[in-house]
Amino acid sequence: MDAAHMRATVEKYIEAVSTDNIELIREIYADNATVEDPVGSDPHEGIAAIEAFYSRIHGVGVKLELTGNARCAANSVAFPFTATTQGRTLEIIDVFEFNADGKVVSMKAYWGA
Amino acid sequence: MDAAHMRATVEKYIEAVSTDNIELIREIYADNATVEDPVGSDPHEGIAAIEAFYSRIHGVGVKLELTGNARCAANSVAFPFTATTQGRTLEIIDVFEFNADGKVVSMKAYWGA
C-alpha cells in the first residue's frame, strides 16, 4: 500500500472527525470495515454501524490533532493524536489497516482511563 | 490489565533495547510471544527467536526515546518513539498485547521507509 495514500487518509480522517463530515468517513472506510474504539470494546461492524458511531461522536463535538507523524508499515498505518471534547483532552493512537482498494478495513483505537 | 504495569513494561522495553539488556527482554516477553517488526515482515515466534532478533539489533547499536505517552486499552498498549542508530532516526509506534500473567505475547512495530 502506498504510504502517501495512507498518510493522506489519516489527514482526511482527522478532518472528517473534527468537522463532522460523515461523507469523508464514508470515503475512508470499506463497506465491510470494523471499528474497535477503544480496543477491548465491542467492534462496530459494517459501514452503517460505523456511520452511526461517528454520528454519536459528532453529537458531542470533538477536535482531533496529530501529535506526531503517521507511521506506515505494509498495509497499515499507526498515528498519535489528541481528541479534545468538552474541555477534556485524551491521548490516543489509532491503527488503520487498508484493503487492496485503499479503503480502511480495520480501525483500532488505543486509549483508556 | 493494569495500566501502570503496561506503562512500566514500556519503560523497561525502552531501557532494554537502548542498553543492550537481553535479561530485561526475557522478563518482558512470554515464552510463546511473537514479534512482527516491522508489520508486514515474517514474525519472530517464541522467546528464542525473539532473543536472537534483539541480539542482532544490539549488534548494530540503537537508542530508543519515547516521543509521547503510552496509550493503554484493555490488555494492550501503543506507544510512539524514535529509534536512533548509526546517525539515522526512525519514527516508530509499537503495540504490545499482554497475557494474563502480565507478559507481552504480541509485539507489532509500525515503521517503514
Cβ distance of B91 and A73 shorter than 8 Å: no
CA pair distance A77, A6, nearest whole angstrom: 7
Closest partner residue to B111 among A38, A71, A113, by Cβ? A71
ipTM here: 0.94
Which region, left, alpha or beta, applies to residue A74 given φ > 0 means left and ψ of -120 to 50 means alpha? left
CA pair distance A11, B9, nearest whole angstrom: 31
pLDDT level of residue A113 (50, 70, 90 thresholds): low
DSSP code at position B90: E
Supply the angle between the helices B3-18 and B47-60 in degrees, to the nearest 10. Answer: 50
- CATH classification code of B3-110: 3.10.450.50
Look at residue B68 and give its three-state secondary structure.
coil
Cell of A33: 470495515
- Nearest-Cα distance to chain A for B96, in Å, is 11
Question: Residues 5-64, chain B: which have Cβ within 8 Å of A?
Answer: 38-41
Q: What is the pLDDT of residue B79?
A: 98
A·B CB contacts under 8 A: 87
B3 in A contact zone (CB under 8 Å): yes
Cβ distance of A74 and B39 shorter than 8 Å: yes
Please confirm, yes or no, whether B94 is among the known catalytic residues.
no
User: What does the DSSP assignment read for B15-62?
Assistant: HHHHTT-HHHHHHHEEEEEEEESSTTSPPEESHHHHHHHHHHHHHH--
- pLDDT tens profile B74-105: 999 999 999 999 999 999 999 999 999 999 99
- pLDDT tens profile B52-78: 999 998 888 899 999 999 999 999 999
Cell of A42: 465491542
- Residue A66 clears pLDDT 80, i.e. is over it: yes
Contacts of A63 (CB under 8 A, 6+ apart): A18, A83, A84, A85
The structure's pTM equals: 0.96
A76 in B contact zone (CB under 8 Å): yes
- Residue B46 clears pLDDT 70, i.e. is over it: yes
Beta carbons of B5 and B52 less than 8 angstroms apart: no
- State the average pLDDT for chain A: 96
| Average pLDDT over every residue of A53-66 | 91
